[in-house]
DNA sequence: CCGCTCATGTAACTGGTTACATGATTTA
DNA sequence: TAAATCATGTAACCAGTTACATGAGCGG
């Protein structure tokens, strides 16, 4: 017999992230998972219903989530929790070694544009650097507030995670400042 | 008459990036565009043939690229260059204002994992931070070399762009070091 | 009773991917 | 002359998206 392909196929980052969310929030409806994505300042995944609902059922069929139906009033809902194998899968994803490329350089719309900045007139280049810097500073406030929120809620590791975003945005601000200065000369 | 939808639809980042590459390298075959992606240390886009060839023809049909057939020996090839409207489109993409979210926080596999690190035993958490840090240090060498390569080739703006990646990786190293220290206490 | 949130889902689309296929030209 | 590179392309797939639809419960 061939090994069951569906059982073996590696999960996507979104699937592991959902596993992580359920681990934190269990018992947790698919709707609650969606909200988690909506409230995140990161917009890489939108956590759309069209992604989350089929995904949750998929993980349940694979035995990584277990579903239980509860009700509020006469209304039913499905709450998920991690199964034993789900927790094991989450831990395997978290623990070293990291997969190829997990520490690699990430997509950055500002960097992508900077490669081709010579196509603009010098004055427009400086405007780009100044504008990008301003936008980054705005982002810094948003993620800074998010760090505080996690701190106050006592979720120190999430705060530490979000501090990664703070570090990165500060680095990008420094980079855009440097770019502005170099373009000014 | 309705405005032609195909003409008006916004381009993706990949399409603008190809526009930028052609602007730099014209006259430039689709194959050469692919190589540009292969040689990039960023792996967000793989620049696969299945993406690049249809994309180039699409941009040509929209009038953003113009194609010319050359030959080496008795073998034909199609070389692209930017049209006037293509250059205008590239410049509009580059110039302020940036689209919504261009300065937003980006996807980071390390950050995503850090949110759920409490699911690991304390010793495994520290191992994660140490391992991630090591992997980032390796990346720093790679992108540092890339900066030098651009500097030597005289392409200062590309070097400046790649220095953005250096800034970000250094920030992520500092973050992982901090995380390691905090987990050690 | 109106509008908001909770809750669940589907259909059509999209923008990439992998894998494959073909053949000329160049280089070791 | 074999292997690598140049060059072009297609087919099947995939993991997301948007947009839509439905309906219960709840607060003002």
The reply to whether A58 has its C-beta less than 7 Å from any atom of strand C is no
List the end-to-end C-alpha distance of chain B, in Å, as a whole number.
69
Per-residue pLDDT at A168 exceeds 70: yes
| More confidently predicted of A169 and B2 | A169
Residue A130 has, within 13 A of its CA and on its CB side, a CA count of 8
* Furthest C-alpha separation in chain A: 70
Question: In Å, what is the separation between the CA of A67 and the C1' of D18?
Answer: 28
Nucleic chain D contacts, protein chain B, residues 71-90, CB cut-off 7 A: 72, 75, 77-78
On chain A, the residues whose CB falls within 8 A of the CB of B108 are 106, 164-165, 168
- Identify the burial level of A182 via C-beta atoms within 10 angstroms of its C-beta, where 0-12 means exposed, 13-18 middle and 19 or more buried: middle
pLDDT tops 80 at residue A2 = no
Q: What is the pLDDT of residue A155?
A: 95
Using pLDDT thresholds of 50, 70 and 90, give the confidence band for residue B1: very low
Residues B116, A90: C-beta atoms closer than 8 Å: yes
- Residue range A17-34: average pLDDT? 97
Look at residue A72 in the predicted model and tell me its pLDDT: 79
Which residues from chain A sit within 8 angstroms of residue B132, using beta carbons? 96, 98, 102-103
| Alpha helices per DSSP H over chain B | 5-8, 13-25, 30-38, 49-61, 84-94, 109-114, 122-153, 156-184
Contacts of B19 (CB under 8 A, 6+ apart): B11, B59, B64, B65, B82, B86, B89, B90, B93
Protein-covered nucleotides on strand C (Cβ within 7 A): 6-12, 15-21, 23-26
Q: Which of B127, B162, B164 sits opposite A110 (nearest CB)?
A: B164
What is the mean pLDDT of the segment spanning B116-125?
A: 98
From the list A16, A115, A158, the residue facing B161 with the nearest CB is: A115
pLDDT at A39: 94
pLDDT of residue B118: 98
Mutate to test the interface with A, among B23, B46, B107, B116 (most CBs of A within 10 A): B116
Kindly determine whether the C-beta of residue B73 is less than 7 Å away from any atom of nucleic acid strand C: yes
Spatial strand order in the sheet of B65-72: B28-29, B75-82, B65-72
Residues B22, B80 contacting (CB under 8 angstroms): yes
- pLDDT in the model for residue B75: 83
The predicted-structure confidence for B127-169, as pLDDT tens digits, reads as follows 999 999 999 999 999 999 999 999 999 999 999 999 999 999 9
Tell me the average pLDDT across A160-185: 97
Total-model pTM: 0.93
pLDDT band with cut points at 50, 70 and 90 for residue B69? very high
The pLDDT confidence band at residue B2, using thresholds 50, 70 and 90, is: very low
Helix, strand or coil, per DSSP, at residue A67:
strand
In the sheet that holds A65-72, the strands lie side by side as A28-29, A75-82, A65-72
Which of A84, A94, A105 best probes binding to B when mutated, by most B CB atoms within 10 angstroms?
A105
Q: What is the pLDDT of residue B76?
A: 87
- The answer to whether A43 contacts B101, with C-beta atoms less than 8 Å apart, is yes
Q: For B158-172, write each residue's pLDDT tens digit.
A: 999 999 999 999 999
CB A79 within 8 A of CB A9: no
Distance of CA A115 to the CA centre of its chain: 26
């Amino acid at each position: 017999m061939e090994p069951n392909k569906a059982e073996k196929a590696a999960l996507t980052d979104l699937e592991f992230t959902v596993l992580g969310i359920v681990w934190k929030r269990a018992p947790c409806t698919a709707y609650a998972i969606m909200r988690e994505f909506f409230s995140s300042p990161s917009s890489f995944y939108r956590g759309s219903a069209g992604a989350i609902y089929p995904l949750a059922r998929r993980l349940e069929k694979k035995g990584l989530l277990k579903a239980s139906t509860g009700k509020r009033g006469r209304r039913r809902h499905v709450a998920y929790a991690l199964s034993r194998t789900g927790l094991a899968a989450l831990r395997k994803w978290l623990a070293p070694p990291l997969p190829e490329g997990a520490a690699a350089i990430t997509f950055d719309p500002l960097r992508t544009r900077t490669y081709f900045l010579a196509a603009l007139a010098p004055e427009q280049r400086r405007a780009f650097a100044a504008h990008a810097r301003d936008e980054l500073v705005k982002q810094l406030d948003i993620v800074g507030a998010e760090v505080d929120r996690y701190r106050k809620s006592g979720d120190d590791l999430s705060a530490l995670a979000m501090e990664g975003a703070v570090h990165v945005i500060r680095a990008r601000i420094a980079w855009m400042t440097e770019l502005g200065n170099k373009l000014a000369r």
